[in-house]
């Protein structure tokens, strides 16, 4: 199993460190050719408008969409924004892979970033997970086929639809690997 991590901008190295800790091979992805060698893809947090531009500049838009039809994709923060069907407060064109609507920076700017416990659903044995929210988006609408895996103050923060998963927070910034292990289980189910 090889996990690709989109390495155009953002905190891709932190996701790679988690997979290293779990002894799972991961590679940094910057081109469609590199993506084609992967069994799954992580879209990391970063700056969403920059990430969208770089995906297009590197000819990855179609490659990522096609990849998502067959394999697991997991987006965190800006990566989630990139996966969404619609972004309501920013004129960017997301990939429309995950049937959700999001609002960028919904909790405020950098200084309003925070850490608080989120509630994982019954899929997880332990329900509390430390959520790190940095200029985090908010999922404002859930479309058909999207399952809520975790909530924060009754708002969805971790969702999945078939092979696509997204989190508004940064699980890679904690020592808790449950979210990444859940992603690995999803990948194993598709291999």
- For the question of whether the overall pTM of this predicted structure is more than 0.85, the answer is yes
Q: Choosing from 38, 160, 170, 180, which is the catalytic residue?
A: 170
The stretch 39-48 carries a mean pLDDT of: 93
Crossing angle of helices 48-57 and 61-70, in 10° steps, is 100
> Which domains does the chain possess?
2-190 (3.40.50.880)
The side-by-side arrangement of strands in the sheet containing 2-6 is 25-29, 2-6, 40-43, 72-76, 164-167, 155-161, 147-152, 114-120, 128-133
pLDDT in tens, 147-178: 999 999 999 999 999 999 999 999 999 999 99
Q: Is 172 a catalytic residue?
A: yes
Count of H helices and E strands in the chain? 6, 12
Q: Choosing from 38, 103, 172, 180, which is the catalytic residue?
A: 172
What is the pLDDT at residue 165? 97
**Does residue 32 register a pLDDT over 90?**
yes
Half-sphere exposure for 129 (CA within 13 Å, toward CB): 31
The stretch 105-123 carries a mean pLDDT of: 78
First and final C-alpha spacing in the chain: 9
- Residue count (the chain): 191
SS3 50: helix
Highest-confidence range of 34-38, 112-116, 119-123, 175-179, by mean pLDDT? 34-38
Angstrom distance (rounded) from CA 50 to CA 74:
18
Q: Is 77 a catalytic residue?
A: yes
Q: Choosing from 38, 77, 160, 180, which is the catalytic residue?
A: 77
């Amino acid at each position: 199993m090889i996990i690709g991590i989109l390495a155009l901008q953002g905190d891709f190295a932190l996701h790679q460190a988690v997979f290293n800790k779990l002894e799972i091979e991961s590679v940094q992805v910057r081109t469609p050719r590199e993506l084609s060698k992967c069994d799954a893809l992580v879209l990391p947090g970063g700056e969403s408008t920059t990430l969208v531009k770089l995906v297009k500049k590197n000819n990855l838009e179609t490659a990522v969409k096609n990849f998502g039809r067959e394999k697991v994709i997991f987006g965190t923060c800006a990566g989630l924004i990139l996966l969404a069907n619609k972004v309501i407060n920013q004129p960017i064109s997301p990939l429309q892979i995950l049937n959700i609507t999001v609002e960028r920076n919904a909790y405020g700017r950098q200084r309003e970033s925070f850490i608080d416990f989120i509630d994982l659903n019954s899929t997880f044995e332990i329900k509390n997970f430390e959520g790190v929210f940095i200029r985090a988006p908010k999922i404002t609408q859930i479309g058909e086929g999207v399952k809520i895996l975790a909530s924060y103050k009754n708002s969805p923060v971790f969702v999945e639809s078939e092979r696509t998963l997204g989190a508004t927070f940064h699980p890679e910034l904690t020592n808790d690997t449950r979210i990444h292990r859940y992603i690995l289980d999803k990948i194993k189910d598709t291999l």
